[in-house]
Structure formats: structure tokens, C-alpha cells
Amino acid sequence: EALRLWGGRFEGGPDQALARLSLSTHFDWRLARHDIAGSRAHARALHRAGLLTDGELDRMIEGLDRLEADVASGAFTPVLEDEDVHTALERGFIERVGPELGGRLRAGRSRNDQIATLIRMYLREEARQIADLLLDLVEALADQAGAHPGAAMPGRTHLQHAQPVLLAHHLMAHAWPLLRDVERLRDWDRRAAVSAYGSGALAGSSLGLDPQAVAVELGFPASVENSIDGTAARDVVAEFSFVTAMVGVDLSRLSEEVILWATKEFSFVTLDDAFSTGSSIMPQKKNPDVAELARGKAGRLIGDLAGLLATLKGLPLAYNRDLQEDKEPVFDAVDTLHLLLPAVTGMIATLVFHTDRMAELAPQGFSLATDIAEWLVRERVPFREAHEIAGTCVRVCEERGADLPDLSDEDLAAISPHLTPAVREVLTVEGSLASRAGRGGTAPVRVAEQLERLRSAIDEN
Ligand code: ARG
């Protein structure tokens, strides 16, 4: 005979089609450990309220301990008739302590306040793990930056050569957003750290339970201010899902560059064999599948967030069964990042950079033209005029198929009397890089300081 938590007012059992639709144990079973922890805390609240004797509490805790061990070992698993994780565990509990004592545990709580609490417990744990995985990737980027302190590369805007930058500067431009994702998870936790236990179905409990004590036992500093909000809100799930989508987007942008860099045309990097794949027909192929899967899975993570927001948008207060649909997308996001982050970290950590090739391309595409204009400004030429003069240098070079450093002293003087031979000091990649020495700039001294700050930010997290 199946255990249902709501049999009393019904004459018959549910139709097969409803039972199948209703079933959620195939995805919410991962909350079992948290459900049992919640039950322990709830049993203590019942005891403190005088609703359980000392002996009854002891037997309950002992039964829950046994149930937890059986869940962990796989000796206890949900069956098809168990509607959800809560139902299955209540059945397991009753099987262990008997129907008389087992039937007392549900007093003063509802699956509505249970699930709202459990999802927070689960996500808070996952947030810490995902933050650690993110920090591994940030560290891999910092290590690559540290291993290539002086290497120059073409900096791009619109994917066109713009100005030379240090490879280390560029790599850290991917590290900082990932570090902000870590901070987002830490900050999110402050809002997630609120227990919904004590809300009951929506209106609170009449049994004199202490929601604050339950909260503290479950690792929350506080319980919810409002029992309706406690059971109906899922913004905390949506916000978590936003962070995972943002991580996906950040990984995707990094990956897109790795894919470009690994092409024959760029030849900036070689992927390690362990982080690339071959082709079933073309023997020469070495494909950046890790980066492509990262780019692809960003779409999936965005979809998880979009689906969740769409589920929430029209829901009246308080609990509606639609809310059960919050779990699969956010579980998918968690699982996806657990798969993805170690692979991307490995790919980055093992990338071989062809710094000669990058350095050779750094000054091409007239990427030093801005240096001429800014040199002129330091010579007191108004920027509008300086921009014109530097533009003329580019045009003259283009007509001759030459490059900016090829211009002779006479060429320079003919373009503008302001262009004395001293301008040549900025017409090298090294000169250009060294000149961008303001805070946040790509000058080697600034980038070395930046790397130190990045490393201490990693340590602080
Ligand atoms: N399994 C449900 C969920 O994930 C919790 C159960 C609440 N069900 C109910 N009929 N009130 O949201």
C-alpha cells in the first residue's frame, strides 16, 4: 500500500497519468540528505514545544540517523509510488520507527516550507563548491599570466587590431569577471541564508515551534520574516541561476578566443592533446571541443534561467505546484558547471602560447597609430590635430605598403613639422606598452602589480 501524505479526503487513488506527472523523486532525491537534516531540526522543535517526550525525541533522532545511513548506502531508495523526496523519506521513517511515532513528525510543517528550505540548503552548499571551481580557473589564468610576463599581443576592438597589449593583461581581463562571479555567489548567499521552516503551508504554525532555532540548526542565521514569502518566493533560486548563466557567458567568451587562437590563421596557441579531440575522418585534425562545449553550454545555462523566470512570472501567492519546476533547471545548471569548469581549467592550464607569433603581429595593422597621436598631445598638439597627423601617417604607409616605423625623418617632417624623430621612441611595441602606465593600463609595471592584486584577491576568497 503506497503512502500518500494526503489520502484522507479522497475515495480512490490517483490515476496513473497523474501519478506519473506528479512524480519528482527522479530529480529531487538529491535533496534527501537535507530533508533528513530538516526533519531532525523539526523533531527538536516539536520536543521543545512540549509535543514530544524526551524518549520520543531520542527514538525519532535514532530513526532518522538509521534512515540517513540507509539512504547513503543505497539500502533505502524511493519507489514509484513515492510522490516526491519528502513522501519517500516519510515512508522510510515510518518503516523504521513505526506509524505511531512516525506519524508525529509531520506536525507543524508542510512540504511547502520544507522544499523552500531544502533548496536553499542545497544551493548554498553548491555555491561554495562552484566558487572553488571558479577560483581554480582564475588561478590557472593567473599562472599563465605570471608565466608570460613580457609577452605582447595584438589588442583588438571590433576584432580588428587596435593597440598592442600584454598577453598577461588580456588573460587577467578574463580572470576578473570570473572573480566577480565568485563574489556574486558569496553575496547571493547572504540572501539565501534564510530558513523557511516554520512557515507551514503558508500561514505559519499554531504549535509553538521556534523557527529561529530550526534555522540555526540548519546553518541559517535567520528564519523568514513572512511565511507567505517564505513558501512562495523563488527569487533566490532565480538569482543563483543568473549567476550560473553569467558564468556560462564568461566561460563562453574566453572559449571563443581560445577557438580563434587555435586556428592556423592565428596560431597563437596549441591545445594540449589531453584537452583536444580528433576527427573520425580527417587524420590531421585537432579540435578545441572543450572550448566549443563551453560555448554551447552557455546557451543551455541561459535557457535554464529563462525557463525558470518564465515559470515564476505569472504565479499568484503562495505555493503553487508550478514551483516544483524550479528544480530541474537549477540542478542542470549545477551539474553543467561541475562538468565544465574542471575541463576549461585544464584546457587553460595546459595551453601553449606562441609568444613569438603574437609579438610579431602586435604592431601590425598600424596598431601604433594611437601612440603617435598621444606623443603629439604630450608635445602640446591639440588631440584633433594629432589624430589627423597620425591618420595621415597611416595613409602614407598604406599607399606605400610600408609600416609606421618605416617612415623616414623626412617623411615624418613632410607630414607635420611636429613629427620630430623623437616620435620613434613610441613606435615600438615595447615603447607603446611601457607608455600606458596609468592605473589599470597594460604597461609591464602596472600588469605586474595587477597580478599581485589578483593573487591576493584569490587568497581572500
Ligand atoms: N515536490 C514539491 C516541490 O518541489 C513540494 C511538494 C509540495 N506539494 C504540494 N502539493 N503542496 O515544490
Convert the pLDDT of each residue in 186-208 to its tens digit: 999 999 999 999 999 999 999 99
Q: Of the residues 329, 360, 391, which one is the last residue of a structural domain?
A: 360
For cell 562552484, the residue is: 130
Q: Identify whether the C-beta of residue 342 lies closer than 8 Å to the C-beta of residue 249.
A: no
Report residue 8's pLDDT band, with 50, 70 and 90 as the boundaries. confident
One-letter identity of residue 71: V
Instruction: Report the C-alpha gap between 217 and 197 in whole angstroms.
Output: 11
Q: What gap in Å lies between CA 126 and CA 335, rounded to an integer? A: 10
Atom 2 in ligand 1: residue holding the nearest Cα: 324
pLDDT of residue 145 exceeding 80: yes
**Beta-ladder partners of 164:** 154
Residues 83 and 138 placed together within one structural domain of the fold: no
What does the pLDDT read at residue 343? 98
- CA of 112 from ligand 1 middle (Å) equals 6
Q: Are residues 188 and 323 in the same domain?
A: yes
Residue 425 is predicted with a pLDDT of 86
Among 22, 321, 328, say which to mutate for ligand 1: greatest number of ligand atoms within 8 Å of CB: 321
Last residue of one domain, picked from the residues 325, 360, 395: 360
Whole-prediction pTM value?
A: 0.95
For ligand 1, atom 3: residue with the closest CA: 324
Domain limit, last residue, from 86, 107, 128: 107
Question: Cell numbers of 435, please?
Answer: 607608455
Q: Which residues contact 423 (CB under 8 A, 6 or more apart)?
A: 372, 375, 376, 412
Asked if residue 101 is part of any domain, the answer here is: yes
Q: How far is the CA of 457 from the centre of ligand 1 (A)?
A: 41
Given a cut of 90, whether residue 303 has pLDDT beyond it is yes
Residue to substitute in 4, 23, 112, 308 for testing ligand 1 pocket (most ligand atoms within 8 angstroms of CB)? 112
Model confidence at 426, in pLDDT bands (50, 70, 90)?
confident
Q: What is the mean pLDDT of residues 232-260?
A: 98
Task: Say which residues have a Cβ less than 8 Å from residue 267's Cβ, sequence separation at least 6.
Answer: 354, 357
Q: Cα(308) to centroid of ligand 1, in Å?
A: 16
> Is residue 218 a part of any domain in this protein?
no
Mean pLDDT of 158-162: 95
In the chain, the amino acid numbered 355 is: T
Q: Letter for the amino acid at 250? A: D
Q: Which of 83, 115, 202, 234 has the most ligand 1 atoms within 8 A of CB, as the residue to mutate?
A: 115
- Angle, alpha carbons 197-198-199 (nearest 5°): 95
Are 348 and 402 part of one and the same domain?
Answer: no
Atom of ligand 1 nearest to the CA of 115: 5
- Closest-CA residue, ligand 1 atom 12, reads 324
Q: Is residue 64 part of a domain?
A: yes
Q: CB under 6 Å to ligand 1: residues?
A: 24, 28, 84, 111-112, 115, 319, 321, 323-324
Q: What is the mean pLDDT of residues 177-189?
A: 98
pLDDT of 1 higher than 70? no
> How many residues in the chain?
461
pLDDT band at 172 (very low <50, low <70, confident <90, very high): very high
* 241 and 331, same domain (yes or no): yes
Residues 385 and 272 in one domain: no
What's the 3-state SS for 425-440? HHCCHHHHHHHCCCCC
Cα of 85 from ligand 1 centre, angstroms: 10
| 185-198 burial code (b ≥16 CB/10 A, e <16) | beebbeebebbbbb
Mean pLDDT of 131-150: 98
CATH number of the CATH domain containing 372: 1.10.40.30
Report how many domains make up the chain.
3
Q: Is the pLDDT of residue 402 over 70?
A: yes
Report the nearest-CA residue for atom 4 of ligand 1: 324
Provide mean pLDDT across the span 118-134.
98
Residue 273, domain CATH: 1.20.200.10
Both 120 and 70 in a single domain? no
Give the pLDDT of residue 7: 75
DSSP H or E segment with residue 157 = strand 152-157
Q: What pLDDT is recorded for position 156?
A: 97
Averaged confidence pLDDT in the chain: 96
Q: What CATH code is carried by the domain that includes residue 72?
A: 1.10.275.10
Residues 292, 269 within the same domain: yes
Report ipTM for this prediction: 0.95
Q: Are 68 and 197 part of one and the same domain?
A: no
Whether residue 10 is contained in a domain is answered as no
pLDDT (mean) for 106-117:
97
Let me know whether 396 and 351 are in one domain.
Answer: no
Residues 310-321, mean pLDDT to the nearest whole number: 97
Say which residue, 405 or 354, is predicted with more confidence: 354
CA gap 74, 20 in Å, rounded = 23
pLDDT exceeds 60 at position 310: yes
Nearest by Cα to 167 from 375, 438, 355, 383: 355
C-alpha to C-alpha distances, 301 to 160, 184, 290, nearest whole angstrom: 30, 16, 16
Q: How far is the CA of 322 from the centre of ligand 1 (A)?
A: 9
Please give the average per-residue pLDDT across 14-36, as a whole number.
95
Residue 421: predicted pLDDT: 95
7 in a structural domain: no
Is residue 276 located within the same domain as residue 138? Answer: yes
pLDDT at 2: 64
Q: The domain containing residue 372 runs over which residues?
A: 363-460
**Residues forming the active site:** 158, 279
